[in-house]
Amino acid sequence: MPYLFTSESVSEGHPDKVADQISDALIDNFLAFDPSSKVACETLVTTGQVVLAGEIKTDTYLDVQKIAREVIRKIGYTKSEYMFEANSCGVFSALHDQSADINQGVDRKVENNDFETLANAQGAGDQGMMFGYATNETDNYMPLPLDLAHAILREMSYIRNNESDLMPYLRPDAKSQVTIEYSDDDQPIRIDTIVVSTQHDDFADDETMLAKIREDVINIVIPRVKAKLKPELHGLFDENITYYINPTGKFVIGGPHGDTGLTGRKIIVDTYGGKGAHGGGAFSGKDPSKVDRSAAYATRHIAKNMVAAGLCDQVLVQVSYAIGVAKPCGLYVNTYGTAKVDMNDGAIAEKIAAIFDMRPYAIEQRLKLRNPIYSETAAYGHMGRKNEVVTKTFGSNGNAKQVEVELFTWEKLDFVDKVKESFGL
């Protein structure tokens, strides 16, 4: 029997995403000047105020207030009527040194600097389990409802920042939600419902405002999103889609003034939109020694390469750790009965564990995670993004530093051949 599945996304101006972006900007700046930095930074944003809290071990000094303001400015909170504005908001820092008790399990002194010694010495920054997921229903191996939810908001953000005459009333805060009908064999049939709520400028006439926003989302945003999809997906858009556009009505008060934002409160938006599973640990504000982040990226890397290799149509990969211990407690694989080889999932997991070294140091090295690559992850999802090399510029104490980095390394299909060889595909 057909079924419905829903995923949501939020824009870069959503309060929780503002907090995520500030936390990850701090991570990037610390790593740019001291790649060995250990950082766990939480951010709270509310009316006219930013609070930074967390633990840091680093050899560099940063103007954290300046970094936070630059992020807020880039997002678009630049007007006093937003009640949260880059130049005037307060920024309070309660960052302090990392606990030596925690650090001793992660940074162990070693006599030899060869790979094996370092990989066995660096333990996991915490216990826990992390999940990666991939499906072949989209070109980027992401669940379609989440992919579309992200695409709607990215298009609105592009219009707001680059073609503001099209929808001049748009403000930074927005949310979207897409419900898709699937067939019995898990194939998308049609889009059932699209929900968009966007912050906007004040209007003299609320009814006129609502009608205008609805018209623009349906006639400007959705066609542009559809045009960027592969032709096979165009048929999902039909005249029977139910649209809820700003269903509560007026949405002038938004951003951190409308809702307090916190780092790590959008972990499902950050991952797979509710598909697969989530271990519960957030990503933003954490350096890669925290396996909540690095191992989640590594399991996505595994899952994506498995599906791309034709081993299965979709897969969930779990890894788990004990704090201070390098070797994972276990690796779990669930192919949902879609495996193309005559092996059960336990046997598949054993082969996968032999291909991918999941010790924290090995993950850091394989995915180049000790680079300042995290600001780009903090809005519109950490998975399913474009792998590319960019040059980023950072400033500290009047010194500018340019760093060439590779973004979203966990999205590379660089292990497909190894998977195929191991499984005889």
**Which strands sit side by side in the sheet containing 314-321, from one edge to the other?**
128-135, 314-321, 330-334
Q: H helices of 111-201, where? A: 115-121, 144-162
Using CA atoms, how far apart are residues 342 and 97, in angstroms rounded to an integer?
52
Q: Which residues, in sequence order, are CB contacts of 60 under 8 Å at separation 6+? A: 30, 33, 34, 37, 396
Binding residues for Mg(2+): 16
Q: Which amino acids are annotated as binding site for ATP, given as ranges? A: 14, 173-175, 250-251, 259, 265-266, 282, 286
> Which residues carry a binding-site annotation for K(+)?
42
Report the C-alpha gap between 139 and 413 in whole angstroms.
12
d(CA 160, CA 418): 43
Binding region: 14, 16, 42, 55, 98, 173-175, 250-251, 259, 265-266, 282, 286, 290
- 302 sits in the region (left: phi over 0; alpha: psi -120 to 50; else beta) called alpha
Residues in the annotated binding site for L-methionine: 55, 98, 259, 290
Bridge-based pairing state of the strands 242-245 and 188-200: parallel
DSSP structure class, residue 185: T
Q: Please, which residues have CB within 8 angstroms of residue 193's CB and are 6 or more apart in sequence? A: 6, 177, 178, 179, 241, 242, 243, 244
Does the CA dihedral 83-86-90-94 come out positive or negative?
Answer: positive
d(CA 349, CA 312): 13
CA 21 to chain centre: 10
Query: Who contacts 212 (Cβ-Cβ below 8 Å, separation ≥6)?
Result: 169
Tokens, residue 82: 């937003």
Residue whose token pair is 């999205």: 411
Residue 36: how many other CB atoms lie within 10 Å: 13
Give the separation between CA 137 and CA 307, rounded to whole angstroms: 10
The tokens 């009505």 sit on which residue?
Answer: 249
Residue 202 CB partners (closer than 8 Å, separation 6+): 252
CA 381 – CA 187 distance, rounded (Å):
23
